[in-house]
Amino acid sequence: MTRVNEMIELTFEGVEPAGSHVAVNVKAVFTKGDFSKEVLGFYAGNGTYKVRFLAEEAGRYTYQVSGLVSGQGTIDVEEADEKHHGIVRPDGTKLRHADGTYITTFGTTVYALAHQTDELTEETFKSLECGAFNKIRICLFPKHYAYNKNDHRYFPFYYDENGQNIEFTDNLGEKRSVKPIDTNHPCFEFWDEFEGKLNRLFDMGIQVDLILFHPYDRWGHSYMSQEANLTYLDFAIRRLAAFPNIWWSMANEYDLFFNWKIEQWHEVDEFIGKNDPYGHMLSNHNCFPLYDFERDAITHVSIQNRAMNRVKELQAKYNKPVCYDECAYEGNLKETWGSISAKEMVNRFWKVTVTGGFCTHGEVLLDDDIETSEQQDNAVLWWAKGGKLKGQSPERIKFLREVVESLPGPIEGDVVGLGRMLAMSDQEREMSLKYTPESMRGFIETIGRMDASEILYHIIPSFEYAGHCGENVFIFYLGTDCCARYMPQLPQGKTFTIEVVDAWNMTRSQTATGVKMGDEIRLPGHEYIAVIATAEN
C-alpha cells in the first residue's frame, strides 16, 4: 500500500554506468493534475537503478522515467495514516509537519550511530523506545575523537587508489597520509545498511538531523576537494531526499574546518537548497561563531550555546526556529562539555522549550571501572556510539515532552520580569515610562543608565523563562529559584486555574482556581518548578 508521507521507490535494471556511479543520467517526472515534480534517480549497484518520490497529497500520480533506464506508469497514493505527518518545515519560528501538525522536537545525540556493530545498534534502538526523543543528531561520515576511535565495517565511499596521497594533521594532532576519497564511487553496502537505520527511525517517529560534514576525522573526509564535496552531496540528496524524516545539518562545528573558507559553506547551502526537491530543514552548527542564518537556503538556527536565554533574541533577529542542538551533555567526563548534571540538563531543556525554542540532549557517562586510555576509547558512551541510556535526564525530558504535547498549541516565548526591562531599547524604555506608575519610574530610569556590557551580565542571572499558548494558557519556569510564593504575570480581565509542575520529580498538581492578575500563589519552595495558568473564562 502506498500512502501520503511515505517514500515511494521505483527500481529498474540496466548496465553499470561508465565512469561516475553518482552523476548518472536518470530522472523521473511525477505528475497529478497541475502538479509536476522532477527528481533525479541514482545507481544502487549490481545493475540496479532507483528513483524515489515522496507524495504529499493523495491521488493518482503518473510517472515518466528517462535516461540510462526508462519506464512509465501510475501510482495510486492513499491518505496518510495517523502516525506519519510528513516533512517538517519552518512556520515562522515554529515547526510544522507537511499536514499542518505542529511539532516540538526533543532531540538526542548519537554521532556515530551509522558506524556501529549490529549488536550495539539494536541496543541503541531499544533505548530509543523510551519515548523521550523525537529527533536524533547523527553523522554520515565516521568520527575520530576521544571515546570514539573504533574502526568501521563500511565507509560511504571508496578511496581513489590511483590518486596522490593527501597529507594532513587530524583533529587529535596525529599526522596522516591517505588516498583521496573517491565520491564518484559509493560503497553501496554502507548506504543500504544506513538506510535501514533511517527507515527504523522513521517508523519510530524520530526526525534525523543528518550531519553531512564534521572535522573529527582521520580518514580524509574533511579534506576532500570542493568538487568531491558536491559530488557526495549530489548522491546523498538523490538517495535520501525522499525520506520524510531527514533534516540536513551541513556540519557539526563548521568553524573547526580550518582548511575551509566561508565561501565553501555558502556554496554547500546553496547546492542543497537548489537540489533538494522537497525543501527539508537545513542549517549549519557552530562551535564558536554562529553561521549566517539569514542566508536564503537556511531554514532554522542551529547552535551550540550555554546561554539558554537567547531564544527570543535569535527568533527576533532571524524569524526562524531556534534549535539548541548542543547545550553540553549529562556526564562525568573531565571535559567541561561532558560534565553537567542530569538536573542541569533538564533545567536547560525547560528554559529553551518554555521560551519557544527546541533543545537537544546528549549523555557521556563513563563507568567507574574505565581507567586506561585504551579502555576509554573502547567505552560505549551514548553521545558517540549509542547503547544504553544510563542518565537520569531522559525520563524527565519525556515528562517535559508529555507536558508540552498536552498544551493546546505550540509555545510562544515571552520576556517577563527584570529580563524584560533589561532587554528594552532606549526607545521602548522611554515609551514605557509614560505608562509606568510614578513609584516605578526611577527604577526604569536607573536601568537605562547601564551600559551594554552591564545589561548583558544582568540579563543572564535575572532572566525569567516564560511563554504562552494562544491567549488562554501561560507557562512560567522558575529554574533554580526556590520561591514559596509567586506572582505570575497574567493578563487583565480573566481568571485562571493554576497547575504546579515539578520538572525533576515529574508531578503535576492543580493548586488554585480563580487566580487573576496581581494575585499571589503558593509554591513548593524548591528548584525546578513550573506554573501553568489556564484561563477559566
Tell me: do 424 and 318 sit in the same domain: no
Q: Does the pLDDT of residue 199 top 80, yes or no?
A: yes
Q: Does the pLDDT of residue 419 top 70, yes or no?
A: no
Q: Find the mean pLDDT for residues 137-165.
A: 94
Q: What is the CATH number of the domain that holds 16?
A: 2.60.40.10
| Domains: count for the chain | 3
The three cell numbers of residue 477 are: 519556569
Report yes or no: 163 and 184 within 8 Å, Cβ to Cβ: no
Tell me: do 353 and 426 sit in the same domain: no
Ramachandran region, residue 532 (left: φ > 0; alpha: ψ -120 to 50; beta: rest): beta
Indicate whether 285 belongs to any domain. Answer: yes
Would you call 76 exposed, middle or buried from its count of C-beta atoms within 10 A (0-12, 13-18, 19+)?
A: exposed
Q: Please tell me the total number of residues recorded for the chain in this structure.
A: 537
| pLDDT tens sequence across 333-344 | 999 999 999 999
Distances in Å between the Cα of 44 and the Cα atoms of 12, 73, 125, 186, 235 are 10, 21, 26, 9, 10
Q: How far apart are CA 293 and CA 301, in angstroms?
A: 6
Indicate whether 83 belongs to any domain. Answer: no
pLDDT band at 327 (very low <50, low <70, confident <90, very high): very high
Q: Find the mean pLDDT for residues 444-466.
A: 79
> For the stretch 489-521, what's the b/e string if a residue is b when 16 or more beta carbons lie within 10 angstroms of its beta carbon?
ebeeebebebbbbbbbeeeeeeebeebeeeeeb
> Which residues, at least 6 apart from 114, have a Cβ–Cβ distance to it below 8 Å?
138, 139, 140, 142, 190, 194, 197
Q: Does the pLDDT of residue 460 top 90, yes or no?
A: no
Q: Does the pLDDT of residue 77 top 90, yes or no?
A: yes
Which residue among 405, 429, 448 closes a domain? Answer: 405
Q: Which of 270-274, 423-427, 469-473 has the lowest mean pLDDT?
A: 423-427
Q: Find the mean pLDDT for residues 261-265.
A: 98
Tell me: do 168 and 215 sit in the same domain: yes
Mean pLDDT of the chain: 95
The reported pLDDT for the residue numbered 223 is: 98
Tell me: do 147 and 248 sit in the same domain: yes
What is the DSSP secondary structure assignment for residue 512, as one 8-state letter? Answer: E
Q: pTM to 2 decimals?
A: 0.96
The amino acid that residue 145 corresponds to is Y
The reported pLDDT for the residue numbered 421 is: 67
Report yes or no: 47 and 13 within 8 Å, Cβ to Cβ: yes
Tell me: do 62 and 11 sit in the same domain: yes
Indicate whether 2 belongs to any domain. Answer: no
Tell me: do 326 and 417 sit in the same domain: no
| pLDDT tens sequence across 109-125 | 999 999 999 999 999 99
Distances in Å between the Cα of 416 and the Cα atoms of 466, 471, 488, 491, 493 are 7, 16, 10, 12, 19
Tell me: do 419 and 294 sit in the same domain: no
Tell me: do 316 and 433 sit in the same domain: no
Q: Which of 175-189, 387-401, 410-424, 465-479 has the lowest mean pLDDT?
A: 410-424
Domain that holds residue 457: 412-535
The reported pLDDT for the residue numbered 427 is: 79
Q: Does the pLDDT of residue 363 top 80, yes or no?
A: yes
The reported pLDDT for the residue numbered 451 is: 83
| pLDDT tens sequence across 210-260 | 999 999 999 999 999 999 999 999 999 999 999 999 999 999 999 999 999
Sheet strands (E) in 15-165: 26-32, 35-40, 42-45, 48-54, 59-67, 71-77, 88-91, 94-97, 106-109, 135-139, 157-159
Strand partners, 303: 324
Report yes or no: 41 and 27 within 8 Å, Cβ to Cβ: yes
Indicate whether 35 belongs to any domain. Answer: yes
Tell me: do 304 and 452 sit in the same domain: no
Tell me: do 70 and 173 sit in the same domain: no
Which residue among 28, 47, 77 closes a domain? Answer: 77
> Which residues, at least 6 apart from 347, have a Cβ–Cβ distance to it below 8 Å?
479, 480, 503, 528
The reported pLDDT for the residue numbered 435 is: 66
Tell me: do 95 and 44 sit in the same domain: no
Indicate whether 249 belongs to any domain. Answer: yes
Q: What is the CATH number of the domain that holds 288?
A: 3.20.20.80
Q: Does the pLDDT of residue 423 top 70, yes or no?
A: no
Q: What is the CATH number of the domain that holds 476?
A: 2.60.40
Indicate whether 492 belongs to any domain. Answer: yes
Tell me: do 177 and 248 sit in the same domain: yes
Which residue among 405, 435, 451 closes a domain? Answer: 405
Would you call 185 exposed, middle or buried from its count of C-beta atoms within 10 A (0-12, 13-18, 19+)?
A: middle
Indicate whether 216 belongs to any domain. Answer: yes
pLDDT band at 424 (very low <50, low <70, confident <90, very high): low
DSSP string, 193-215: HHHHHHHHHHHTT-EEEEEEE-S
Indicate whether 1 belongs to any domain. Answer: no
Q: How far apart are CA 40 and CA 21, in angstroms?
A: 13
Q: Find the mean pLDDT for residues 481-487.
A: 96
